[in-house]
Structure 1
């Protein structure tokens, strides 16, 4: 029962998939970050179904681009937009953190979101779906969430409030770090074995950038920054996937 509740907490918080109502408590939140990567499995499965459907190429590309948004409810895109606003302000650390808390969407967030979807859709039109590519992308979607959860359990927090702080505080950080580190390592090896080493490098590069930007610009991570990382990792891994196909590696 506690395992199912732990999975339900992760899906209730980080997806738009309906789950049964129940009380969140210390026990079922303790390992919720370990279940977070399972959402990547669901998105990847839907992505593969879209890839096998007899749809026009542009319709299939639109499905590839929108499936993650539909399943997650856009929670990570919200963090991406807020972080883009904060970074574009060029204010001090306090100012940036205030912008992250502002529920309004600024001009820079709109500009970056439009640019993001334009690039994402263009990359999706370049994807030639095959079973190998489908498996590789499922692993990529799981990897980005494993790295995101690992960061929440490992990186310093920018503040003592907010979603990331709530999950970091409730988590058994030692166990979460070990589980997600092992999972990430296994995924990296599996992706490299499938020829997706460029996707692994892209994800790790974005993780390094995430750590550097969060510490320098914000003094640590927040839930919004976690969303920013996940969206950037996904975009760069998708670009790496397209590059590998274009180069004949996949």
Structure 2
């Protein structure tokens, strides 16, 4: 790896961490090539978040907390570690899509600071399912779910997916990740998900595949209704993929 490539990789990792977490990491270069690296490394950041969430849930269980209480605290901690941006993006995206408006009218709904009834229901259901699932699955399944959630960002930023606006996070990261990098990320996350269900090693990779398909369906709908992706859409993709993965590993 050349010095320039190493610098680009370091800048991309810093951008991924500062964009997807609250960690106070010193920023570096911010441009579309760096964004491509950052969005490609999003699953790695997801794995680190997943380890933290799983460790907190497991630690509380060791201290005697009921499983659902530990899971609820873990979900709350996961939201705090990401500034709640992904949950906020989920609510805004669901409100916009639920309005049955398209284009600029739908994007204007996403900009509003309040949350409508569709968004409230989406948040409540998502948090409830995630907490219930965390209470029932092994710790590596939690790591795999948070990793899969950030893999959704890599999928959403693949080449060919346009931004909905000419400015903002969506415009900077949209269509930056080349297809080979996306396929490599999917393969690595699927392989890492094998231990998520120790007695059913096929279930983890299936969960990654199902979550990926759900994200692709959401993306297609957002491109049709909104014209492309926004930062809010990325957040919705994260929460959708995380939740679908958690549901899948509870089956069987």
TM-score normalized by the length of structure 2: 0.81
Q: Which has the higher mean CA deviation after the structures are superposed, 216-225 or 77-86?
A: 216-225
1:83 is aligned to: 93
2:190 is aligned to: 188
CA distance in structure 2 between the aligned counterparts of 1:118 and 1:140, rounded to whole angstroms: 15
Q: Show structure 2 runs of 5+ residues with no match.
A: 1-5, 196-200
CA distance in structure 1 between the aligned counterparts of 2:155 and 2:28, rounded to whole angstroms: 26
Q: Would you say the 8 A contact 2:164–2:170 is kept in 1? A: no
Q: Would you say the 8 A contact 2:149–2:240 is kept in 1? A: no
Please state if 1:101 is matched with 2:111. yes
Which one of 221, 229, 235 corresponds to residue 221 of structure 1? 229
2:125 is aligned to: 115
Please state if 1:11 is matched with 2:13. no
**How big is the shift at 1:86?**
0.6
Please state if 1:158 is matched with 2:168. no
Q: Would you say the 8 A contact 2:156–2:174 is kept in 1? A: no
2:30 is aligned to: 24
CA distance in structure 2 between the aligned counterparts of 1:113 and 1:139, rounded to whole angstroms: 21
Count matched residues: 235
Q: Would you say the 8 A contact 1:76–1:224 is kept in 2? A: yes
TM-score normalized by the length of structure 1: 0.82
CA distance in structure 2 between the aligned counterparts of 1:78 and 1:120, rounded to whole angstroms: 16
Q: Would you say the 8 A contact 1:144–1:234 is kept in 2? A: yes
Please state if 1:140 is matched with 2:145. yes
Q: Would you say the 8 A contact 1:15–1:75 is kept in 2? A: no
**How big is the shift at 1:123?**
2.6
**How big is the shift at 1:115?**
2.8
Which one of 72, 78, 82 corresponds to residue 82 of structure 2? 72
Q: 1:29 to 1:220 in 2, by over 3 A?
A: closer
**How big is the shift at 1:119?**
2.7
Which one of 197, 212, 215 corresponds to residue 204 of structure 1? 212
Task: Find the residue that maps to 1:16 and give its secondary structure.
Answer: coil
Q: Which has the higher mean CA deviation after the structures are superposed, 76-85 or 33-42?
A: 33-42
**How big is the shift at 1:242?**
1.5
**How big is the shift at 1:80?**
0.5
Which one of 179, 183, 196 corresponds to residue 181 of structure 2? 179
Q: Which has the higher mean CA deviation after the structures are superposed, 178-187 or 78-87?
A: 178-187
**How big is the shift at 1:139?**
3.1
Aligned Cα RMSD in Å? 2.4
Q: Show structure 1 runs of 5+ residues with no match.
A: none
CA distance in structure 1 between the aligned counterparts of 2:243 and 2:212, rounded to whole angstroms: 13
